[in-house]
Chain A
């Protein structure tokens, strides 16, 4: 099972990087969202996917899944959610002000 999710994480990383390297701004944002999905799946995988019950203390049960990676993912999800929403607003404003969403045209050479 770990092999499959690792490959899935790898595919997510690959598509994320492909999208980040595109010119259109919205594609880059989609790329970063895919990247965070990949990272979160990887945390879950790396905590071992052994079968067990959800980590809620119940009488008579000794087999639980690892609760730590789940807490780490939850933290990381809200952080990347916050950053992504900021990124979307920033991308919107940048496009409005500069009249383009093409990264090539957003280079800016006046400081060189």
Chain B
């Protein structure tokens, strides 16, 4: 049964390879990609159920025992993240045929899409630091392919910068792995954690920890390493932006969560205190960015940064409430960011522009779209019945318990400004004169809204059904706070 752990990597990988052969047949590709994403979702749901009933799945690839071979660790956290990834993948696979990709679908859009899912799932599951690097590269290579697909002037320019910053941070990742290998003599995460514990994380290990944090923070777009994100995320097609916004930065933040709850947990006054400050600054600068622009795509792209700030706040707190809040907020944010990117894609499509100053009165023509945006703005800001609320509540409660009053205040003000920045799209774009958009031909949103509605419904369920989900999240947080469990289950002493 332990072979289950490899299925979320293998299924998208095989799907991508098969889809390469059906490159020119768009109809076949569309049908196959829908089918494959549903199969992958089914498998990952089963795996999640299996992990929560029978405990962590450890897979030694090629029967080489840890720490000699590559280990795949499917614990609760990896399982729910893989499940969320697959849910978003299904929504995007159903959105993509209507997303106006036109010729791009014959230029290997679907293979790239599935390679991206392979990389993301692999990064969540792996138990080996160098293997994590390889999966990072798999997802980054796929994302390079996707971001440049279409090849317009602006797109080429921005994807060049995206590629350069990621190449730079990947090389630093290799360097950090080299340093860590020199000190502890292994690349298996459980064994690294064990050996770091034995020497009680001396100075050099904290330095390596911060180097690793720098690498992951670049991928996750934390303050002050977020400058590459907003512009490069708005240049591709909305469905690609949705995939990026939902998955890529979250892999970075997941790596920070894993590394700083498992390996570098012995000198928390140095590292984790820093995270709290970075969290505050990410929230402030991200939300300032979101308020500064009238480009609706850019508003949503900037909103990624404060969300990442909230998640790292929980990692910095390193207590029960903080970690469970982080996990809850991580899942909520993956879903709601893809909803918002897809919705904004629809709005820009029907309005024919992504500039708020040229919009107005869309509610007269597209009422359903308007109310969808309104609800997702409330979910994003974290109003009580919705899922953003529980995550933020836990995070701020955790911060309050540790006496970090300043960060609580910043968090609350940021939430308010996030709400303002998204409701601004609603007020300026949807309210107002019927005549502003009157000469515009009414476009059909057929097929575009169904995936968005299902994702939003899931997000609402995640908030309303918190009593069902919370115990699972809490058990994951307890598990993460005790690295011994992970180490023992992998190394089996």
Taking Cβ atoms with an 8 Å cutoff, the residues of A that contact B are 20, 25, 28, 32, 35-36, 38-40, 42-43, 45-48, 68-69, 72, 75-76, 79-80, 82-83, 86-87, 90-91, 93-94, 97-98, 106, 108, 110-112
Residue in contact with B168 in the complex, picked from A20, A25, A42, A69, CB distance below 8 Å? A20
Residue in contact with A111 in the complex, picked from B164, B181, B298, CB distance below 8 Å? B298
Contact A72 B144 (CB under 8 A): no
4 closest pairs, A vs B, by CB?
A46-B182, A46-B178, A43-B178, A94-B156
Residues of A within 8 A of B134 (CB): 75, 79
Contact B164 A42 (CB under 8 A): no
Residues of B within 8 A of A80 (CB): 167, 170-171
**A/B interface sample: 26 pairs, CB < 8 A:** A32-B167, A36-B171, A38-B171, A39-B171, A40-B174, A42-B175, A42-B179, A43-B174, A46-B179, A69-B178, A75-B134, A76-B174, A80-B171, A83-B170, A87-B163, A87-B164, A87-B167, A94-B157, A94-B160, A106-B160, A108-B157, A108-B158, A110-B154, A111-B293, A111-B298, A112-B293
- Which B residue sits closest to A2, measured CB to CB? B182
Q: A47-B182, A112-B293 are in contact. Are A83 and B167 (CB under 8 A)?
A: yes
**B190 on interface, CB distance cutoff 8 Å:** no
Contact A72 B177 (CB under 8 A): yes
- Which A residue sits closest to B175, measured CB to CB? A39
B187 to chain A, nearest CB (A): 8
Residues of B within 8 A of A72 (CB): 130, 174, 177-178, 181, 187
Residues of B within 8 A of A108 (CB): 154, 157-158, 231
B488 to chain A, nearest CB (A): 24
Taking Cβ atoms with an 8 Å cutoff, the residues of B that contact A are 130, 133-134, 137, 141, 144, 148, 151-154, 156-160, 163-164, 167-168, 170-172, 174-175, 177-179, 181-182, 187, 231, 234, 293, 295, 298
18 extra interface residue pairs, beta carbon distance < 8 Å, beyond A45-B178, A83-B144, A108-B154 = A32-B167, A32-B168, A38-B171, A39-B175, A40-B174, A42-B178, A43-B181, A46-B179, A69-B178, A72-B178, A79-B137, A82-B141, A87-B160, A87-B164, A90-B144, A94-B160, A97-B151, A106-B160
CA distance A111 to B130 in the complex (A): 38
CA distance A36 to B134 in the complex (A): 15
A99 to chain B, nearest CB (A): 10
Contact B175 A97 (CB under 8 A): no
Residues of A within 8 A of B130 (CB): 72, 75
Contact A93 B168 (CB under 8 A): no
Chain B, interface SS category: helix
* Max chain B Cβ within 10 angstroms of own Cβ: one of A25, A42, A45, A79: A79
Residues of A within 8 A of B174 (CB): 36, 39-40, 42-43, 72, 76
Residues of B within 8 A of A97 (CB): 151-153, 156
Q: A75-B130, A83-B141, A90-B160 are in contact. Are A98 and B175 (CB under 8 A)?
A: no
Chain A, interface SS category: helix
Residues of A within 8 A of B151 (CB): 93, 97
- Which A residue sits closest to B172, measured CB to CB? A39
CA distance A20 to B298 in the complex (A): 27
- Which B residue sits closest to A41, measured CB to CB? B178
Residue in contact with A91 in the complex, picked from B160, B175, B187, B231, CB distance below 8 Å? B160
A71 to chain B, nearest CB (A): 9
Contact A47 B181 (CB under 8 A): yes
Residues of B within 8 A of A111 (CB): 231, 234, 293, 295, 298
Contact A32 B164 (CB under 8 A): yes
Residues of A within 8 A of B168 (CB): 20, 32, 35
CA distance A28 to B164 in the complex (A): 9
* Max chain B Cβ within 10 angstroms of own Cβ: one of A35, A87, A90, A112: A90
CA distance A90 to B170 in the complex (A): 18
Residues of A within 8 A of B181 (CB): 43, 46-47, 68-69, 72
Contact A98 B157 (CB under 8 A): yes
CA distance A80 to B141 in the complex (A): 11
CA distance A43 to B175 in the complex (A): 7
B276 to chain A, nearest CB (A): 30
Residues of A within 8 A of B156 (CB): 90, 93-94, 97-98
Residues of A within 8 A of B152 (CB): 97
Contact A86 B144 (CB under 8 A): yes
CA distance A19 to B359 in the complex (A): 44
- Which A residue sits closest to B158, measured CB to CB? A108
CA distance A97 to B148 in the complex (A): 13
B283 to chain A, nearest CB (A): 22
Residues of B within 8 A of A40 (CB): 174
